[in-house]
Homo-oligomer: A and B are copies of this chain.
Amino acid sequence: MAKQGYEGGRLNLPFVGICTFGKYPYVEDWDAIDADVAVLGAPFDFGCQWRSGARMGPRAIREASTLFSFGHAGAYDFEDDITYLDPAKVTIVDIGDADIVHTDTLKSHANIEYGVRKILKAGALPVVIGGDHSVNIPCINAFDDQDPIHVVQIDAHLDFVDVRHGVRFGHGNPMRRAAEKPHVTGLTQIGIRNVSSTAKDGYDAARAMGSDIQSVRHVRRMGIDAMLSRIPEGARYYLTVDIDAFDPSIAPGTGTPSHGGFLYYEVLELIDGLARRGEIVGMDLVEVAPDYDPTGGTSVLAAQLLMNTIGRVLHHRNP
């Protein structure tokens, strides 16, 4: 939305203007995506097992992201002494949301997959905002004609249920579905803790299928660098971040919170290291449920993390 931006002679304060992601341009025509990064909303929440409401995640995160749209001069991080997201070097677009069909999981998932395929076809980095964690399933599907990927999951829950009562595509199933794919070479599952819908047999299956499962306390004990060294180097990473990986103190706005989670810099440093260790070729951030976020802090966290992640992924690709 160039002319309405700072460069067009406006002050363009964060609270002013239409809420696209980061106030980046909206591209309605999915055959005309021409950018380094394309953000897609996936407002689907029929897959959750406790509190619903993640369908409003994309809206809330877009709204929160406007706080970080000061960046007409890019995002200068004085700790790194780097200007990320320099508009002269980087193009980002928001392509709106996948079309969700109420009562119909398969059709909704298909529409998400369709959007991700369009982004990949355009050569852009897909950044998908959920929605519950089941939206990861169509995202991973969309990579089936790409080079193999290693999935890095940051999450409180293992999400490795195979089938229960016929359910294969709920928010407790995505990592099992990913592990089954030929184009997924492995999984690293970080932040896992406490009891959840994945029972012991799910853990056994995950380990048998090659997952590396690490808890928050494990990561703290070994340090970020040691954690990173467990992830295959130089791979193509697909990053899936469930907001409940974070501690409920900073991410209360989610369906199934779990105490004892990560703090902000732990995850940022993990992602920064990952972006240096290989190429992040796609990502999703899921399970933000604004109804449980009365302060807006969870959406701010999601937006702050996405902005910083995108900046680092693009920078480390061409430092």
The reply to whether B107 and A49 form a contact with Cβ atoms under 8 Å apart is: no
Q: Which of A3, A73, A99 has the most CB atoms of chain B within a 10 A radius of its CB? A: A99
The reply to whether A300 and B248 form a contact with Cβ atoms under 8 Å apart is: yes
The reply to whether B102 and A46 form a contact with Cβ atoms under 8 Å apart is: yes
Residue in B46, B68, B213, B305 whose beta carbon sits within 8 Å of that of A103 in the complex: B46
Complex CA gap A218/B94 in Å reads 35
The reply to whether A96 and B18 form a contact with Cβ atoms under 8 Å apart is: yes
Copies of this chain, count: 6
The reply to whether A256 and B67 form a contact with Cβ atoms under 8 Å apart is: yes
A164 to chain B, nearest CB (A): 7
A192 to chain B, nearest CB (A): 7
Contacts of A252 in B (CB 8 A): 295-297
A138 to chain B, nearest CB (A): 13
The answer to whether the Cβ of A226 comes within 8 Å of any Cβ in the partner chain is: no
Which of A263-319 touch B at CB < 8 Å? 263-265, 268, 291-297, 300-301, 304-305, 307-308
Contacts of A307 in B (CB 8 A): 195
The answer to whether the Cβ of A233 comes within 8 Å of any Cβ in the partner chain is: no
The reply to whether B3 and A70 form a contact with Cβ atoms under 8 Å apart is: no
